[in-house]
């Protein structure tokens, strides 16, 4: 059995490395994304901003929105600021919760209208624009709002984005590298020929998974080290913990690809299903932007996507120095999804589409 798995494993790897265009794109694409976003977020203004609001005396209690009837309600500058277009205002019941969201770029700006204080990240271009919007509404008879320092260390936007880019690259490589490839094998009759050999479905699927895990680990490692050198990114947590998260995320994505490829014999159909899964997953998993302030059903849907837990776990390790115990929920969800998808794909798998 081991010999048969090893033979398929080597054959799949050779097929991948011989396709230099696909191999090169897997390595080049993440670099292009990082470079592109570095340029965009350094030079261009954004048109959508998220502003967190806290009320009350920060040294004591932190009140809710009912305190607006006090000093905030009569503050013309705050009312003008809150009337700004293309800006979403989110109330937070606790200051520290809002500060954590600001540090992790889930909101762009934080303000307390009662104490006339505000906070923003110096690395956030959105926060800079929101500060200008606030200052534009100043009136002579009122004392100006005071900018305060962010407590704790700031996380540059590019470092917040980096784990999501790696997760997205893993997603596309896993889904198309397994799902689309197996469908092509079935359509070309390769699986039909395998069916009359001693090779069993379990051995074939195991070889595909091991091969793709090996290739994903290799390409992700190259991209990771390259970005660490070029962009001077840092990882606050353990590299071994990060490896565990990436391996679990890769296995989960590969299992999703197996479900899609389990019976389909049409490349066009498989490509459509893969697009239907991958693109919504990319936009709902906080790869590019935070879902803070969105409707509850959007966050609920996001919780059922493996890329969400892969990205969140990797970010907490790289940006916050979290341990595996700290991200036990993300790990549990990745293991659960991997098991469900793998078992479903294995049960549904057929050598041909008849």
| Domains of the chain by residue range | 2-40+156-348, 45-147
| pLDDT tens digit sequence for 128-181 | 888 888 877 665 555 567 777 666 666 777 788 888 888 888 888 888 888 778
Phi, psi dihedrals of residue 269, rounded to the nearest 5°? -65, -45
Q: Alpha-carbon distance 285 to 164, whole Å?
A: 8
For the domain spanning 45-147, the CATH number is 3.40.190
In the sheet that holds 146-147, the strands lie side by side as 87-91, 49-53, 109-112, 117-119, 146-147
CA-to-CA dists, residue 325 to 55, 153, 163, 334, angstroms: 33, 22, 19, 14
The pLDDT score that the predictor gives to residue 246 is 92
Q: Which pLDDT value is given to residue 18?
A: 65
299: left (phi over 0), alpha (psi -120 to 50) or beta: alpha
Out of 103-107, 194-198, 350-354, pick the least confident.
350-354
Helix (H, G, I), strand (E, B) or coil at 118: strand
Contacts of 40 (CB under 8 A, 6+ apart): none
| Selection from 258, 267, 260, 262 nearest residue 209 by Cα | 258
C-alpha span between 133 and 143 (Å, rounded): 16
For tokens 């509850």, the residue is 296
305 vs 59: CA distance, rounded Å: 39
Q: Count Cβ neighbours within 10 Å for each residue of 116-129 and write b for 16 or more, e otherwise.
A: bebbbbebbbbbbb
Tell me how far CA of residue 101 lies from CA of 87, 107, 121, in angstroms: 16, 6, 11
How does DSSP assign 200-234, residue by residue? Answer: -HHHHHHHHHHHHHHHHHHHHHHHHHHHHHHH---
Give the Cα separation of 302 and 259 in Å (integer).
20
Structure tokens at 78: 């705050």
pTM above 0.85, yes or no: no
pLDDT tens digits, 243-263? 999 999 999 999 888 888 887
> Among 105-119, 210-224, 233-247, 253-267, where is mean pLDDT lowest?
253-267
């Amino acid at each position: 059995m081991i010999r048969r798995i090893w033979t398929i494993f080597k054959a799949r790897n050779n097929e991948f490395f011989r396709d230099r265009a696909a191999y090169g794109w897997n390595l080049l694409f993440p670099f292009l994304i990082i470079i592109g976003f570095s340029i965009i977020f350094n030079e261009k203004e954004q048109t959508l901003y998220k502003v967190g609001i806290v009320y009350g005396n920060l040294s004591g209690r932190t009140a809710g929105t009912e305190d607006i009837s006090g000093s905030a309600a009569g503050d013309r500058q705050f009312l003008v600021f809150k009337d700004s277009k293309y800006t979403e205002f989110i109330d937070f019941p606790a200051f520290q919760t809002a500060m954590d969201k600001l540090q992790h770029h889930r909101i762009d700006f934080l303000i307390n209208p009662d104490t006339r204080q505000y906070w923003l990240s110096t690395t956030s271009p959105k926060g800079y624009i929101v500060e200008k919007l606030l200052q534009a509404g100043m009136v002579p008879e009122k004392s100006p709002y005071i900018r305060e320092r962010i407590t704790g260390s700031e996380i540059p936007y590019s470092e917040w984005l980096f784990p999501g880019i790696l997760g997205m690259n893993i997603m596309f490589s896993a889904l198309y590298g397994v799902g689309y490839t197996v469908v092509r094998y079935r359509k070309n009759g390769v699986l039909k020929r395998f069916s009359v050999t001693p090779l069993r479905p379990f051995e074939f699927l195991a070889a595909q998974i091991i091969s793709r895990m090996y290739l994903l680990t290799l390409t992700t490692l190259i991209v990771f080290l390259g970005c660490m050198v070029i962009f001077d990114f840092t990882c606050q947590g353990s590299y071994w913990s990060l490896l565990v998260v990436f391996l679990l995320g890769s296995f989960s994505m590969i299992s999703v690809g197996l479900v899609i490829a389990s019976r389909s014999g049409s490349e066009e159909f498989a490509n459509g299903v893969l697009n239907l899964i991958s693109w919504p997953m990319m936009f709902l998993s906080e790869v590019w932007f935070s879902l803070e302030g969105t409707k509850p059903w959007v966050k609920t849907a996001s919780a059922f996507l493996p890329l969400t837990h892969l990205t969140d776990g990797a970010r907490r390790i790289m940006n916050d120095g979290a341990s595996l115990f700290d991200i036990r929920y993300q790990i549990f969800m990745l293991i659960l999804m991997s098991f469900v998808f793998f078992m479903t794909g294995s049960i549904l798998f057929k050598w041909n589409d008849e």
